[in-house]
Amino acid sequence: DGGITQSPKYLFRKEGQNVTLSCEQNLNHDAMYWYRQDPGQGLRLIYYSQIVNDFQKGDIAEGYSVSREKKESFPLTVTSAQKNPTAFYLCASSIASGRRTEAFFGQGTRLTVV
């Protein structure tokens, strides 16, 4: 089945550690996005990528890093510089940024700092 897969579903991080969240899609989409969602809040854009080997900062990029070496994959690293990383992280993809088509979402990764 075609879709977008995030892993792991739950992730625990110790203070000062970097962790990487996986996002893979087999929809042949050019554009991919990472959002952060806090309890009872909306989605805030962390990073987005319109094409392989290119990405742009969203509204809350500080403390996060991404790479887009393959069309199918857009991993997000939460670094120790992110002071409040506990949140629900959502990855999405769309055919192409600017094409005005809907974005498809993964099921999310819930990150907790312990």
Partner 1 sequence: GESVGLHLPTLSVQEGDNSIINCAYSNSASDYFIWYKQESGKGPQFIIDIRSNMDKRQGQRVTVLLNKTVKHLSLQIAATQPGDSAVYFCAEEGATNKLIFGTGTLLAVQP
What is the three-class DSSP state of 12? Answer: strand
Site string for partner 1, 57-76 (x = CB under 8 A): -x------------------
**Residue from the set 50, 73, 79, 80 that interacts with partner 1 by CB under 8 A:** 50
Nearest distance in Å: CB 15, partner 1: 25
Q: Which range touches partner 1 (CB under 8 A), out of 13-21, 62-70, 79-87, 94-102?
A: 94-102
**Residue from the set 11, 22, 30, 43 that interacts with partner 1 by CB under 8 A:** 43
**Side chain identity, residue 106:** G
The DSSP H or E segment spanning 48 is strand 43-51
Please identify, using beta-carbon distances, which residue of 33 and 74 lies nearer to partner 1. Answer: 33
Q: How far is CA 114 from the centre of its chain?
A: 21
Burial tier of 52 (Cβ tally within 10 Å: 0-12, 13-18, 19+): middle
Please identify, using beta-carbon distances, which residue of 9 and 17 lies nearer to partner 1. Answer: 9
- How far from 10 is each of 28, 34, 74, 107, 111, CA to CA, in Å? 26, 16, 18, 11, 6
Please identify, using beta-carbon distances, which residue of 16 and 42 lies nearer to partner 1. Answer: 42
Residue 35 is a binding residue for partner 1 (CB under 8 A)? yes
